[in-house]
């Protein structure tokens, strides 16, 4: 394999790529637009008001304990609501004015007091919610548990002379982020630029593979194979061109993120090695698509479905910790997980070179495996054609 021939073949593909200026513009603009849109959707201004559950409280019990529980729920910093009759609360729920409705039944206060003091059967409280609001219902259940236990404890401990202040939280909580130097809003944009850049690199690799399929269909590949150029040289030239464009995409996308949204790079050596690994994965993806795709239409459909799946499961859309446990465990089998883990680490999570290079090695390992599969498939196809 002659490096000069590899470069000349890559230069040919680069010139074809640059000849379509609209395609070049879209190639660099799409990841920037996607990353900006994802970041804007999840962005929260520093100091913005935290989420408050919209709720209505229905009190069917006339006792003082039930009334105190209802008032405490409405006064909670985590709740935005008021005490209403049942019919008005249901109407508000139907009109989406409330997320949930607490229904404190008749005898709630006495049953709660006996359950806390004597271990008898606890009272049954209904929490009404609309379909698809299960998460809000679970949050409401936790808030009701906290408020009801606190108010019941006041009744039980009052005869013992325990001050009310002793029943409040005896400590304060200060949340500190140890993984990133900036505000959480910067982290959101950094995650979006890492995830959307990696996803679009895979799509760019797919486009490169589809172009190769098109060249084979038009006979261009056959004419190239008649020249005294080995198969490995042809594939290396194609991979080099795809990888160089992928590196340019990373540079332009993150330069825009730094200029407009303040996305920073904590470890420049780690970022460079991960960018090279991601570009290699993009190039290898293109060759695999061309080798396994068959015809262009089928290859496009399968490749898009696969890329979207590994992007979602690999944490490119949402942070991995927000996904179910089984997805988090399975995600470590995907190259996108390691690429995102490393790229996010060296941008905003404080990862150094020591943490970056293992992620890059894993991504390059996947790229090498894809290349081997592609070369084997191409050699097998040419052997069948020659036989």
**43 pLDDT higher than 70:** no
Q: How far apart are CA 317 and CA 330, in angstroms?
A: 16
**168 pLDDT higher than 70:** no
**288 pLDDT higher than 90:** yes
Which residue in 369, 367, 20, 358 sits closest to 198, CA to CA?
A: 367
> What sign has the CA pseudo-torsion 336, 6, 215, 293?
negative
**171 pLDDT higher than 70:** no
Residue 13 or 254, more confident: 254
Residue 43 or 238, more confident: 238
CA dist 102 → 15, 63, 155, 272 (Å): 66, 16, 22, 54
Residue 295 or 175, more confident: 295
Q: What is the pLDDT of residue 6?
A: 86
Asked: is 53-167 a CATH 3.60.15.10 domain? The reply is: no
> Which of the four pLDDT bands, split at 50, 70 and 90, describes residue 285?
very high
pLDDT (mean) for 285-293: 89
Highest mean pLDDT out of 94-98, 187-191, 371-375: 371-375
Among left, alpha and beta (phi > 0; psi -120 to 50; other), residue 47 is left
Structure token pair of residue 307: 């890329």
**136-150 tens-digit pLDDT:** 788 888 888 888 888
Mean of pLDDT over the chain:
82
Q: How far apart are CA 362 and CA 359, in angstroms?
A: 5
Determine the angle formed by the axes of helices 353-386 and 335-347, rounding to 10 degrees: 150
CA dist 130 → 80, 91, 134, 140 (Å): 17, 12, 8, 13
For the chain, the structural domain boundaries read 3-44+183-386, 53-167
Give the strands of the sheet with 126-129, arranged side by side. Answer: 79-83, 53-59, 100-104, 126-129
């Amino acid at each position: 394999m002659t490096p000069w021939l590899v470069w000349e073949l890559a230069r040919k593909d680069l010139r074809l790529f640059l000849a379509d200026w609209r395609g070049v513009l879209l190639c660099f603009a799409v990841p920037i637009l996607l990353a900006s849109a994802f970041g804007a959707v999840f962005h929260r201004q520093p100091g913005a008001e935290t989420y408050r559950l919209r709720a209505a409280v229905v009190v069917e019990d006339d006792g003082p304990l039930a009334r105190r529980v209802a008032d405490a729920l409405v006064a909670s910093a985590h709740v935005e609501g008021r005490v209403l009759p049942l019919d008005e609360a249901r109407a508000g729920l139907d009109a989406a004015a409330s997320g949930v409705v607490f229904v404190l039944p008749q005898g709630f206060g006495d049953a709660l007091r006996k359950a806390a003091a004597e271990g008898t059967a606890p009272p049954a409280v209904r929490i009404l919610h609309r379909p698809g609001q299960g998460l809000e219902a679970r949050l409401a259940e936790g808030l009701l548990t906290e408020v009801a236990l606190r108010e019941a404890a006041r009744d039980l401990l009052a005869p013992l002379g325990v001050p009310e202040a002793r029943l409040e939280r005896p400590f304060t909580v200060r949340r500190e982020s140890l993984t990133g130097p900036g505000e959480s809003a910067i982290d959101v944009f950094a995650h979006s630029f890492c995830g959307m850049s990696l996803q679009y690199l895979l799509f760019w690799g797919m486009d490169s593979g589809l172009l190769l399929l098109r060249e084979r269909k038009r006979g261009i590949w056959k004419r190239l194979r008649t020249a005294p150029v080995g198969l490995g040289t042809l594939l290396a030239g194609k991979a080099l061109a795809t990888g160089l464009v992928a590196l340019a995409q990373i540079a332009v996308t993150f330069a825009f993120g730094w200029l407009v949204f303040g996305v920073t790079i904590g470890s420049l050596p780690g970022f460079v090695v991960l960018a090279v690994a991601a570009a290699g994965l993009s190039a290898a993806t293109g060759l695999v698509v061309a080798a396994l795709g068959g015809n262009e239409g089928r290859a496009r459909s399968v490749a898009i479905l696969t890329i979207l799946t590994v992007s979602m499961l690999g944490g490119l859309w949402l942070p991995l910790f927000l996904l179910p446990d089984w997805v988090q465990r399975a995600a470590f089998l995907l190259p996108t997980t390691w690429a995102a883990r490393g790229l996010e680490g060296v941008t905003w999570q404080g990862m150094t070179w020591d943490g970056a290079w293992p992620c890059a090695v894993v991504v390059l390992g996947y790229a090498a495996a894809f290349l081997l599969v592609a070369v084997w498939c191409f050699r097998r196809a040419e052997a069948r054609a020659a036989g």
